[in-house]
Amino acid sequence: MLKTADGAVFAEAYRTGFGAVVRDSTGTFIAGLTGWFDGDLFPKEAEALGLRQVLQWIVDCQLLNVLVEIDSKEVRSVVCSHGCDWSEWGVIVSDCRALLNQGISVSGAVLDKNLKQITEASNQHWSKAASSQGTEPEIMQIQEMHAKSHYSALEQAAVLSEMSLEATAQNVISSSRLMKVYHILSKIMRRIGNSNISRIGICGEAGVGKTTLLEALKIQPAIRDEFQFVIWVTVPKILNLTELRLEIARQLPLSDKKSIYRETLLSFLKRVKFFLILDGVHEFIDLNTVGIPKPTPENGCKIVLTTRSGQICDRMLVDLKINLEDLLWRLFCENVDEIVYSSNLQMLARKIVDSCCYHSHAIFLMSKALKDESDVDVWNNAIETMNMQPASPEQELEHIMVNVLKFSYHRLPDDTTRRCLKNCALYFENQEIARESLIDNWISDDLTDMYQKGQKVLETLVNAGLLESSEDGHIFKLHETDRCLLLEHVFPSVEGLFLMRKNKN
């Protein structure tokens, strides 16, 4: 089965579209897919984002023996190569590679007539939608049609799919930044899932990760599936309620986005289920005056705001106030266990958490490495490691994680465990690994001679936080950011590696 994919940028409509057609081995048209992202992207980004969505579609549809054709030589070359890239572009490429590992092939091609016809038809549709100046009910009808079109159904026509979700240019968050809030994201998600909590206030000083956390929340599939509209507003220091109202309206299918009355916005929002993000609130905001209805368990709407002041949370009458510094400290203490409350370790523990600069994954790994450790010298060594000269001067988050991974790596109990971790990093890029496959691989590479020993190594790596286990304990993964940093900065140079994979047929 052959699938041809392409992306196109529509700067005037501030949208980027993509399309794909499925053909059988004889060239007969089987199905089509079109979608869009909000934002004016560079051509290579449009191609790569479109490719990622098409690959995900293939996986969701469980199509077999698929060869994907794309006409961008640059994208094809990068996707089919290896290496780490910490940019947003690199994250998109990394996602494509992960999907390709599921048995899909990519080649270069020239677009065929069928794809051009589908893309042209789709472009005409979206051009009409973007330029429509009709009444509000007409625009709402278009929005409903988008939501009803589901790309997992193989239909004998171009499928209009709601693809503008987590793949929009604004919503892409680099994996290194995501890891900063990784271990507190699930805690926040659980609170959002509580039907009795409608307003959440997240407070903390500058740099603690409030905005990064919101960016991660915004792209969560659970959020996108639950709410009809996810609205993000960065609140200016000098508050202007009219501008705030307009910024919200710009993200809604309203006919007039240049001027809008409170009653119009209020009437619309009362009829939908929304998730409103207010980032950087500096003073009390009367939401009713803006035109935002009160979120309740009955209407299911949610408001999440961030601020540096806990008092602002109180004045905004939030149902739950979360202080990120306190949450990160609790994360550390929960994993180190009761030993952290010893009088001779309290100050050292605070220094270690501070040296992690609010990076939740760094705090998590350090806490795992120091679990139940009572030796003050070990704690002092941890502080010395965190204060080492950074391995490379490009990014602060990378500096922190290099030092953390070095300490965590050296805290592993023996060389066998370290070799097994190297094995995971070298041969399992962006993959989830089954328990049996992982241990069998270690045995075949002479890293351990018994399955039981492999089980013990696996348990050690999970307890150290270096491997993450699925809930049922059958599937494991090494975070891609950790993998890249381990290979580049922590492990010995390639020439010094004694771990060599056997030639296998």
What are the tens digits of pLDDT across the range 121-178?
A: 444 443 444 444 333 332 332 222 232 222 222 222 222 222 222 232 234 466 767 7
Give the Cα separation of 365 and 405 in Å (integer).
8
Q: Kindly tell me the burial class for residue 361, based on how many C-beta atoms sit within 10 Å of its own C-beta (0-12, 13-18, 19 or more).
A: buried
Does position 74 have pLDDT exceeding 80, yes or no? no
pLDDT band at 41 (very low <50, low <70, confident <90, very high): low
pLDDT tens string 78-115: 777 665 554 456 667 777 777 777 666 555 443 333 43
Determine the average pLDDT of the residues in 310-319: 95
Residue with more model confidence, 435 or 158: 435
Give the Cα separation of 271 and 251 in Å (integer).
15
The percent of residues above 90 in pLDDT, for the chain, comes to 46
* Both tokens assigned to 356: 């992690």
User: Which pLDDT score, from 0 to 100, does residue 138 have?
Assistant: 29
Task: Determine phi and psi for 302, rounding to 5 degrees.
Answer: -135, 145
User: Which pLDDT score, from 0 to 100, does residue 76 have?
Assistant: 77
Give the Cα separation of 307 and 323 in Å (integer).
10
Lowest mean pLDDT, pick from 138-142, 347-351, 440-444: 138-142
Determine the average pLDDT of the residues in 324-352: 94
Concatenate the DSSP letters of all residues of 347-360 into one string: HHHHHHHHHTTT-H
Does position 30 have pLDDT exceeding 80, yes or no? no
- Are 58 and 68 contacting, i.e. CB atoms less than 8 angstroms apart? yes
Considering the entire predicted model, what is its pTM? Answer: 0.64
Q: Kind and range of the H or E element at 69?
A: strand 67-70
Does position 464 have pLDDT exceeding 50, yes or no? yes
User: Which pLDDT score, from 0 to 100, does residue 35 have?
Assistant: 76
Q: b/e map of 291-323 (b: 16 or more CB within 10 Å)?
A: bbbebeeebebbbbbbbeeeebbeebebbbbbb
What's the whole-number average pLDDT of the chain? 77
pLDDT band at 395 (very low <50, low <70, confident <90, very high): low
Lowest mean pLDDT, pick from 76-80, 243-247, 425-429: 76-80
